[in-house]
Every structure is written in C-alpha cells, then in structure tokens.
A = this chain, B = another copy of it.
Amino acid sequence: MAKPKPSIPKGTRDFGPEQMVRRNYIFDTIRAVFGRYGYLPIETPAMENLSTLLGKYGEEGDKLLFKILNSGDFIEGVDPELFKPGNANAASLALCEKGLRYDLTVPFARFVVQYQNDIAFPFKRYQIQPVWRADRPQKGRYREFYQCDVDVIGSNSLLNEAELVLIINEVFENLNIRTLLKLNNRKILSGIAEIIGHADKLIDITIAIDKIEKIGIDAVNAELRERGIDDAAIQMLQPIIQLKGTNEQKLQVLKSTLGSSPVGLKGIEEMETLFHFISAWGNLSIQIELDLSLARGLNYYTGAIFEVKALDAEMGSICGGGRYDDLTGIFGLPNVSGVGVSFGADRIYDVMLQLNLFPESLVSTTRVLFANFGNAEVSYCMPIARKIRDAGISVEIYPDSAKVKKQFEYANKRKIKFMVIAGESEMQSQQLSIKNMETGQQVIIGYNEIENYIKSNL
C-alpha cells in the first residue's frame, strides 16, 4: 500500500537551505546591530504556563493560543459535563496547563518579573524566536513565525527612543532597504482628544487624518461629522488634519493648537527632545516623518509610537513598536516603563526578495567541490582540501566515485563555483585541474598553488 505523501500542518513552513541562508543573513544582521548597542540576548521556552498567557491578548487572542494537552491520564478528575459540545473553552482549560507563546512581549514581562533581583536595570534585551498563533492561515500570515524584539525596560529617558531609531536606521541600512520611519506620540493624540472634548473618537480622528491626501479636506470633514464629531471640534481639528511641512513645522503648528492641553504639550516636548537626540548623532539614511495618523497599538503605547515602511516595495509595516508604561504590572511589578520595537522577519524577507537585495554570495555555502574518481584520487586530494577548508572556505569532496556527468550535475545544482579534478595524469604531475563552473574556464595548476588560486578567484 502506498504511504500518504507526508506534509506539514497548514500555516507552518519548512525552510530549505536557500531560504535558511537568507533568513540567517537577516537575523545575523539584526543581531549584530542589537549587540553593538549593548542589547543582550535572552530566550524563553516555547511553552508557557497558560496562566501566564491567558487574558493578555484580549478574548480573541485567548482563542488563538495553541494549547498543549496535559500528559498522562488527562481525563481523570475532569468534570464530564465539560465534554459537551460548546464547552470547548472551559474544557480546554481543564485539559491543558501549558500553551505555546503567542508573542515575545508577555514572556519578556514574565522574565523581567521572575528575575528582577538578578537583572541590571535598565535592562536592554533582544529576543529572536518563533511564536505561534492559531490564526486562519492566509497569504503572508503564518501559524508559526519569528519575531525579533528589542526592548529596554526600567528607564524613562527619551535617549532610549533615540537609540531605537538609530538601531532601525542601521538595520535597514545594513540590509540595504530604503525605509521611511513614521513617528507619533500617544500623548499628542491624547492632547488632541482633550482639546476637542472627544477622548472616545481618537481612532475616528486618526482615520480621518490618514485620508486627507486621498479624499481632500471637505470629504474628511464630512466623514468626521458622520462619525459624530461636532462642528466646533471639527473646526479646532483643521490645522491638525491639514498638518504639512517638515517635522519642525508640524510641531510648531501642534504647539499652538494644543497650547491648552498639558498632556499634548508634554507629547510635543518629548518629540522635540527625540528629534534633538537623533540629529545630534549626525546624518541617518532613514527618512523620518511625524505622522499623526499612526495609531498602532493605541491601547498599549503611552509615549512614542514607531512604524517603518519600505520605500520601494508594496508591503505593510516591516518594523514597529513604542513606549509602554506598565508592561510588568500584569505580573505584579508595577510602574516599570519600557520602550521597544519588533522587526518583522518574514516581511523583510519578502521585501528583500522582491527588490533583489540579498547578496549573491548567499546562494550557496559550498565554493569548491573535489571530484571523486576513486579512493587513491580522493586520498591525493584530501590534504589540499583540508588546507582550503582550514582557510575558512567551504569545501566538499563528492562522496561516491560516480560518473563524471553526475558529479558535474551536482556541482551545478548546488551552484558550486569551482570543481577540482584529479585523475591519474594530475597525480603523476603533482597537479590539479580546476574548472570555474560559472565561466567554463578550466586550468591545470600545481598542487600547492590551488589554495591561492581559489582565494584570488572566489
């Protein structure tokens, strides 16, 4: 009987060598930047106690947690009433104590509280690990995906925000992605809500601001009216909706508009300090834009809000984050402020693929393949293969003395640049033939010259 073709669960992925080499390039680049800024790596277990995870992502989030069935006789002691259709939620809690992590933020908060006595604050950490969500799989949305989070916790200084901007700048500069960083501040948004007396309409206002370029001021005002905002408030909003110019000009307008809101002025001051710090660093390659329509994570962030878009590709945000004032309160350690951003590795990967930004050298790790014409020939090649390998160059010896054609096919399929051939005549003359598989050029050179030849022709 034929076995069924093996497959993997929907929404998950295998990564083959080519993808892995590219993904590692992204992770390594990000990791190196984090490291240079003094951020330290941590890792947390894939499984957390459900008590750690539940209630942290809203009701919808709870449903998206992957739960781990208890081991042993997990039915023993569970109320049989629970096993009736419709009781799935309650039953799952009786059957499962653990779940897969849903993001890296809650495990980080748990980590900080658990080890608070050992940690040197301000604690600068990064974490690059997969997370799991029982989301409906669709294009670009997976049930297992990596997050790359960088956060500093235990410091209110806006220098942290500034350094995150530098990190964002450096990561995308190193990856060669031209980007736009959108900045906003929750306190400015609160100030706007304060002066127009519509704290409940913050989302409506940001949506309207976002549409100004597309539909024009009259349509925006009509929409605001429809959304229940009164004429006096709409009047006050005009300079904000039509905000234009440089970041400095925008802040000037906001300063006069929000003059009567202490929280709004505080937000403007924070933004000015942040811009001051950024400019003190010198030129950055990233474009930075104050964008009041940026409302990402509004229930969560308390100060700066960040979002990064690639300039040359159609793609949602590839990085985002902000300042939060009470991350660890949920685990009993209140009043610890933090700020952080998360890089979206999958989207960055897609952007880089689309724009052909991966370095060509990533295609294959093996550079030199020694052909195999038998044990004597292989033994002849071994010392020099070892020498080239010791020089840090990736080398293979074809393991079987198969037909030459097959060995060449393997070299081509693996995109190996050099094929070294040693038959009887080469052995007698203490030489080696070397073929450049890209150009087709083949030369015969002395046994001890091959290392230098490869090094200077790689």
Contact = CB atoms under 8 A, between A and B. Distances in A.
B75 A85 contact: yes
A269 interface: no
A41 B24 contact: yes
A20 interface: yes
Nearest to A142: B45
B122 A159 contact: no
A100 B162 CA distance: 40
Interface string A412-429: 011000000000000000
A392 B35 CA distance: 9
A230 B418 CA distance: 59
Interface in A232-289: 273, 276-277, 280-282
Interface residues on A, range: 35 or more
Nearest to A121: B410
B40 A365 contact: yes
A6 B114 contact: yes
Interface centre among A16, A45, A74 (most CB of B within 10 A): A45
A249 to B, nearest CB: 23
A157 B400 contact: yes
Interface stretch (A63-71, A186-194, A302-310, A343-351): A63-71
Nearest to A125: B17
A49 interface: yes
Nearest to A400: B157
A107 to B, nearest CB: 8
B72 A69 contact: no
A389 B157 CA distance: 20
A44 interface: yes
A163 interface: yes
B67 A42 contact: no
Interface stretch (A89-97, A218-226, A433-441, A450-458): A89-97
A88 interface: yes
Contact of A42 (B17, B44, B113, B143): B17
B332 A44 contact: no
Contact of A273 (B5, B84, B365, B375): B375
B331 A3 contact: yes
B366 A38 contact: yes
A83 B85 contact: no
B410 A120 contact: yes
Contact of A8 (B24, B48, B397): B48
Given A8-B45, A9-B97, A21-B41, A155 B399 contact: yes
A92 B80 CA distance: 16
Contacts of A282: 382-383, 386
B156 A12 contact: no
A215 interface: no
A43 interface: yes
Given A46-B132, A120-B414, A414-B120, A38 B88 contact: no
8 contacts: A6-B110, A6-B113, A14-B45, A38-B396, A66-B71, A75-B91, A155-B399, A273-B375
Interface of A: 2-9, 12-17, 20-21, 24, 35-38, 40-49, 51-52, 63, 66-69, 71-76, 78, 80, 83-88, 91-92, 95-98, 100, 110-111, 113-115, 118, 120-122, 124-125, 130, 132, 134, 143-144, 152, 155-157, 159-160, 163, 166, 273, 276-277, 280-282, 330-332, 365-366, 369, 372, 375, 378-379, 382-383, 386, 389, 392-397, 399-401, 410, 413-414
- Nearest first, the 8 closest Cβ-Cβ pairs linking A and B are A17-B40, A12-B45, A38-B396, A3-B332, A157-B399, A38-B366, A120-B413, A280-B379
Given A8-B49, A280-B378, A280-B383, 6 more contacts: A9-B47, A36-B389, A37-B396, A63-B71, A68-B68, A120-B414
